[in-house]
Amino acid sequence: MEEVIKINGGKLLDGNIKVSGAKNATVALMPAAVLAYQPVKIAGLPDISDVDSLKEILQFLNVKVNELNESELIIDPSEMENKVLDIEAVGKLRASYYFMGALLGKYHKVVMRMPGGCHLGPRPINLHLKGFEALGAKVDDNGEFISITAEQLTGTRIYLDFASVGATINIIMAAVYAKGRTIIENAAREPEIIDCITMLNKMGAVIRGGGTSKIVIDGVERLGGCFHEIIPDRIEAGTYIILSAAMANHVCIENVIPYHLDSLISKLKEMGVNIVTALDHVDVYSSPSLSCVDITTQPYPGFATDLQSPLSALMTKAQGTSTILETIYPERFKACEQLEKMGATVKVDIPQAEITGSCQLHGCDVTATDLRCGAALVIAGLMADGTTTIHEIKHIDRGYQDIVSKLRNLGADIWREHID
């Protein structure tokens, strides 16, 4: 038996939809909490399967995870043990690599199997490892397990060849207990990094420059507990804004920091989407016609690679030919193949794609090959005539809390079903 999502498309959407806490902040904050020696309380947690995998890893390390309710938990690392991370949960998500920085920072030693995550083409972690080495660690990678050890970690100046989100956060975590000052040049500037720095500073770390490309970390002796509320998920919000642009009569997307979505909102306005931003929500109204648009994915504050696939679904509706240049993950065009099955006119020439619009999509069987491809297929299914059946929905459940019930509340005809 396989669980699928089915959608009868063509329904106009109306109502309010609330965005959950940011997945890509959460997956860094949960490992970061183990750097403390006291309990850390985190609120605004999304109810997604990546969080379940991280809870499993924490519990394996003898960290107490006390769930207060669906969105709040206390992580208590006071009896934590640094064990070899060889459990299956490590392979279920990319972000398990944050235990490298956290355990190296706290214990000067980490041994773990390779992290998993969405297949978006090559996803090396050489910049993470170079950062650890610059701090004084020795890395041994036998293809199956990575072992990182250090006699002592000493602050230094690290230049990132690429403004990598994961490397920036991982180096910060390894450096919070290092001796002296660490400076990361060409650091990534994503809001999720700022959120992680905010929590670490509440725990007693001394980290300056979050949100800029130069981050300065002054090592401290010991981190304590704190309370932290996670920022809203800008990619989930962006997904709901895009699907509203496709199918809304009037949808209000709540719990949003619109500033985090400036690049998307500008592009949607360029397409002719009727969109109004407020302090913490965004209203999207039906738009009489949409025009084609060209996007280039870039590190924040540029156009997010994670919103490229969802936007490609909307591009099938716009007049003319839209283009996508993918500079972060050049092979991230699996959604285009699936959209083609639904009748889209798509030409992929890695790292670019062209989508010719004014096209009516038709429901059929499609596969969510990764998380954001899944989001694109949900949007496409809402736009298509007939029934769309989405397979491999475990990818969608990794990052979108209650997507089916949230969309049903807007009037979408969408449901989960077990099939043979």
Q: In angstroms, rounded to a whole number, what is the distance separating the alpha carbons of residues 5 and 389?
A: 6
Please state the closest distance from residue 23 (CB atom) to ligand EPU, in A.
Answer: 6
Q: Which of 123, 208, 222, 408 binds ligand EPU (CB under 6 A)?
A: 123
Q: Which residues contact 158 (CB under 8 A, 6 or more apart)?
A: 130, 131, 134, 135, 171, 182, 183, 184, 185
**Catalytic residue status for 252:** no
Amino acid at 404: V
Q: Please choose, out of 126-134, 149-157, 207-215, 351-359, the segment that lies near ligand EPU by the rule CB under 6 A.
A: 126-134
Residue 240 interacts with ligand EPU (CB under 6 A)? Answer: no
Backbone angles phi, psi at 77, to 5 degrees: -95, 20
Q: In angstroms, rounded to a whole number, what is the distance separating the alpha carbons of residues 210 and 140?
A: 30
Q: String of b and e for 102-111 (b: at least 16 CB within 10 Å)?
A: bbbbbebebb
Tokens representing 339?
């959209």
- Report strand pairing: 64-69 vs 109-113: unpaired
Q: Which of 126, 152, 266, 289 binds ligand EPU (CB under 6 A)?
A: 126
Tell me whether residue 76 or residue 370 sits nearer to ligand EPU (CB atom): 370
Q: Which of 182, 186, 263, 305 binds ligand EPU (CB under 6 A)?
A: 305
Number of residues that bind ligand EPU (CB under 6 A): 26
Angle of CA points 117, 413, 118, to nearest 5°: 5
| Residues 309-368 interacting with ligand EPU (rule: CB under 6 A) | 328-329
Q: Which of 27, 100, 231, 335 binds ligand EPU (CB under 6 A)?
A: 27
Residue 128 interacts with ligand EPU (CB under 6 A)? Answer: yes
Residue 94 interacts with ligand EPU (CB under 6 A)? Answer: yes
| Residues 385-414 interacting with ligand EPU (rule: CB under 6 A) | 399
Residue 54 interacts with ligand EPU (CB under 6 A)? Answer: no
Q: Please choose, out of 39-47, 157-165, 262-270, 274-282, the segment that lies near ligand EPU by the rule CB under 6 A.
A: 157-165
Q: Which of 372, 391, 395, 406 binds ligand EPU (CB under 6 A)?
A: 372
Q: Which of 19, 89, 118, 373 binds ligand EPU (CB under 6 A)?
A: 118
CB 173 within 8 A of CB 32: yes
DSSP code for 21: B
| Burial of 114 from C-beta contacts in 10 A (0-12 / 13-18 / 19+) | middle
Residue 371 interacts with ligand EPU (CB under 6 A)? Answer: yes
CB 412 within 8 A of CB 40: no
Which residues lie near ligand EPU (CB under 6 A)?
A: 24, 27, 94-95, 118, 122-128, 162, 164-167, 188, 235, 305-306, 328-329, 371-372, 399
Catalytic residues: 118
